[in-house]
Amino acid sequence: MSIETSSTGNDDLSKRLKILTEEERKEYYGLPPFTNNDRESFFTLSETELGLLTSMRGYLSKSIFILQLGYFKAKKRFFKIVSDNLVIDENIRYIIKKYFPRKKKFEYEITKKTLIGQKKTILRLFSYKTFSEGMDKILDKAKEVVSLDTNPKYIFTELFRFCHYNCIILPSYSRMQQIISKVIVEEENRVYDGLLSMIEKELQDEILQLLTTESNNRYLLTLIKKPAKGFTYKQVVS
């Protein structure tokens, strides 16, 4: 179980569980790398989706909606729409050429309120919940999974599947790190307390004494350990 260090000053966020590799993070959270065939598939609108455009003003607003819709179809999540992103620019150009061929200009002049409204429309269209709406269910599932296996990547994968099948947007990576760290610590404490309750008080005290630090911040258990001189029965059991 490895820990990665963050540049934030918050103690709770400065050390997080490293669950995914950079490549895996891109796979789960990165913009989908659409090919021309992908664009044709994900940016082609159904009759219902075309009908949603009628309530929107301006081709730029409609283009951003189609972009968000296509991304959601591909990854079941939303992305920050920013200018000067070559991937986003290329997709926007494709959408404008396909649906608004007479228009040449494209910018990201769209209000936050409009973006939020579009996201709500897409969520309703796919019967999806935000991760905050499904957080209680996600936590319950995490507690269930960690009782079977405390491997962080295994827990992440199971939560991803759970979110997918229950139509809940996957929480951000940092939030997943917090959730998984929390349930692992809780499970370790639960197991520890359970084992401790089965041990007599006298033996508990002896174990705790072995786990108490002595001089030079070394544990007493460390001080009484020594390498065996050989592999005779006497040396092994001593």
pLDDT tens per residue across span 197-219: 777 777 767 766 766 655 555 54
Q: What is the pLDDT of residues 107-126, one digit of tens each?
A: 667 788 889 999 999 999 99
Q: Is the pTM of this model over 0.95?
A: no
Counting residues of the chain whose pLDDT is more than 70, the rounded percentage is 76
Non-local CB neighbours of 32 within 8 Å, separated by 6+ positions: 38, 42, 71, 74, 75
What SS3 class is residue 219?
A: strand
Output Rg (C-alpha) for the chain, integer angstroms: 26
Q: Are 91 and 70 in contact (CB under 8 A)?
A: yes
Distance CA 201, CA 209 (A): 12
- Residue 196: is its pLDDT beyond 80? no
- Structural contact between residues 127 and 167, judged by C-beta atoms closer than 8 angstroms: yes
Of the candidates 25, 11, 52, the residue with the CA atom closest to the CA atom of residue 156: 25
Q: What mean pLDDT is reported for the chain?
A: 82
pLDDT tens figures, 73-120: 999 999 988 767 778 889 998 999 999 988 876 666 778 888 999 999
Cα within 13 Å of Cα(175), Cβ side: 12
Q: Which residue has the tokens 């009628």?
A: 54
